[in-house]
Amino acid sequence: MANNNVINKRPDTNRTQHAVGSYGASGVLSEVGPLTNGQLVVGNTGNAPSASTLASSSSTITITNGAGTVNLEIAEKFGTEGAWVYPSSTGTNITGDGTKPTIAHDTESWDIGSDFNTGTYTYTSAVTGKFQFSLTVHIIGLLSANTYSSFYVSTSNRTYYIDFRNPYYCSLYGSTRYMWSGDVIGDMDAADTANVKIVVSNGTKVVDSYAGTSEHFNVFILD
């Protein structure tokens, strides 16, 4: 007959303190444990239960074991990194002759992880993931000879060209300024960098980049 002292709340010196009791196939009372922080008693069809802890096979859930507690959190990257920046002053004579300068995004509207360097105009990712890059480029001082331009996001992994066109032809009513926008989703590894570059060609170096929030760069982690 099974020893029922544990069930009857009478002391049983043969049992382990803080262990969990279970009956085997023959009705004999056995023990699981004692359990450590976060351990649970897990069933095994046709066999004795065992002590185990929760695990996330794909690391999509963060599990924190405590004294009498198990805390589960979704390991979500969305919205945990990002920045919105713009140039505070005009970039004078930065291109027009094929030069490919980095747009001087030196002012932050917000920066979630303090990952944007306003001195080098560069974003550095703290984690590996997929990012959305959104940008608007505003240039002034175009000449009729400036028949080619492009702007792009330059990252450590690759270059994402947003647009190619004749900026003077597309400028409003033959004015000397042009503004266009675009976005792209790209991958970055931890410590990778990203910035915005522009090139205007077939003329002289007289084209400026506009100052203010009409020209901006937005980085946001998606996954």
pLDDT in tens, 57-75: 766 678 888 888 888 877 6
Q: What is the mean pLDDT of residues 43-48?
A: 80
pLDDT of residue 59: 66
Q: Are residues 96 and 48 in the same domain?
A: no
Taking only the tens place, the pLDDT of each residue in 85-119 is: 999 999 999 999 999 999 999 999 999 989 999 99
Examine residue 6 and state whether it is found in any structural domain, yes or no: no
Q: Are residues 100 and 140 in the same domain?
A: yes
pLDDT of residue 11: 58
The answer for residues whose C-beta is within 8 angstroms of residue 188's C-beta and 6 or more apart is 125, 128, 129, 130, 131, 155, 156, 157, 194
Examine residue 25 and state whether it is found in any structural domain, yes or no: yes
Examine residue 12 and state whether it is found in any structural domain, yes or no: no
Taking only the tens place, the pLDDT of each residue in 157-196 is: 999 999 888 888 887 656 788 888 999 999 999 999 999 9
- CA within 13 Å, CB half, 185: 5
Q: Are residues 30 and 107 in the same domain?
A: no
Instruction: Give the residue, 172 or 2, on which the prediction is more confident.
Output: 172
Examine residue 117 and state whether it is found in any structural domain, yes or no: yes
Q: Indicate the number of domains in the chain.
A: 2
pLDDT of residue 10: 56
Q: Are residues 171 and 99 in the same domain?
A: yes
- Six token digits for residue 97: 């002759």
Q: What is the mean pLDDT of residues 117-129?
A: 95
Domain that holds residue 102: 82-221
Helix (H), strand (E), coil (C) string for the chain: CCCCCCCCCCCCCCCCCCCEEEECCCCCEEEECCCCCCCEEEEECCEEEEEECCCCCCCCEEEEEECCEEEEEECCCCCCCEEEEECCCCEEEEECCCCCCECCCCEEEEECCCCEECCCCEEECCCCEEEEEEEEEEEECCCCCCCEEEEEEEECCCEEEEEEECHHHHCHHHCCEEEEEEEEEEEECCCCEEEEEEEEECCCCCEEECCCCCCEEEEEECC
Mean pLDDT of the chain: 86
Q: Are residues 192 and 102 in the same domain?
A: yes
Q: Does residue 46 register a pLDDT over 60?
A: yes
Examine residue 14 and state whether it is found in any structural domain, yes or no: no
